[in-house]
Amino acid sequence: MDNPLLRQCIEENNALVADWLKAGKHGEMDYLERLFPEKSNPGKSFPFAKSVIVLAFTNRWGDPMAPHPFPAPESDALLGHVSAYAREADYHSTGQAMLSRLAAMLGEGIKAEAAVDTKAVYERLFATVGGLGVVGGNDLLRVPDQANVRVLIGCLFVDAELPEVIHEPEMPFACDTCRACVRNCPTGAIQSGKPIDARKCISYLTIEKRGVLSCEEGGMIGDWLFGCDECTIVCPPRDKADTRIQVDLEWLLKTPAAEVRRAIKGNATAYAGVSQLRKNAVVILKKMETPRAEELLMWVRNNTGSDLIRQQIGLW
């Protein structure tokens, strides 16, 4: 934790994040401003920590055979899509379980605290300083193993002095020679050499923005219900592979909310919640402009108990 390179990287990153927040590019994610003081000083957030162990894991991200909680749609179903990383169990719980096992291996009497996108931690910064990979143009961690390029990150802070192990990642190509993620971002949220503008990011719009979507924002999300894969499926450079999860919009909108909630429990989509997914489904339906879509929208208008969804229906 007292590595000079780590301290320098944290200081440099703090300056970039402060400018990003000041420019308002975090959108409605007010918690990022609230947690910034904690993120900017991990020594204060984890005062007991003498070392940090960083791991990258895949959670079968992008594996089309990995299970998910949504029923298979009929061939003529009205469809929305969920990001491929929502397959398998929620990555938060998967990573926490891995780090808990790792903490147990360290022995009794050692204090350990895990963070898997659940605490105020710059996970990607710790991963890059540790040499697990580099941060790509899409602001995600790129690792040398091209077969498992899409990874998630976990950090384990411990009160033991561990041997310092810093890798030297041998990346097969530099991001500056590729920029596939920049070219394939459908909304322009990713720009070369600039921080991501979350306000244009489909993942932000479908997951984090909790209010109604404007006409412009609704146009941006395409047919995405949760997340977006456009900048990940092209890294490393290759043909696009459709590993999205197909969701029957009629099932999502007509199934009792409690039943949908039970179905997605333990899945990454549970973070968004049923109302958020349904709000996005309404946006997708309104753009279809077909008799079936209009019929389903009318059913939702007459049966929903959500003010948010009624507002979204009436916005356009």
Q: What token pair was written down for 141?
A: 């961690």
State how far Cα 172 lies from the chain centre.
25
- From the candidates 63, 117, 139, 159, which is the catalytic residue? 117
Among residues 89, 3, 117, 5, which one has the least CA distance to residue 51? 3
Concatenated DSSP letters for 237-289?
Answer: S------PEEEEHHHHHHS-HHHHHHHHTTSGGGGT-HHHHHHHHHHHHHHH-
Provide Rg for the chain, Cα atoms.
21
Active site residue 76: no
Tell me the CA distances in angstroms from 187 to 57, 166, 217, one per residue in order: 28, 36, 10
Q: What token pair was written down for 239?
A: 């043909």
Contacts with 88 (C-beta within 8 Å, 6 or more apart), sequence order: 59, 60, 66, 67, 68, 94
Which helix (H) or strand (E) is 45 found in, with range?
helix 42-45
- Whether the Cβ atoms of residue 249 and residue 80 lie closer than 8 Å to each other: yes
- Whether the Cβ atoms of residue 182 and residue 192 lie closer than 8 Å to each other: yes
**Secondary structure class of 123 (helix, strand, coil):** helix
Catalytic residues: 117
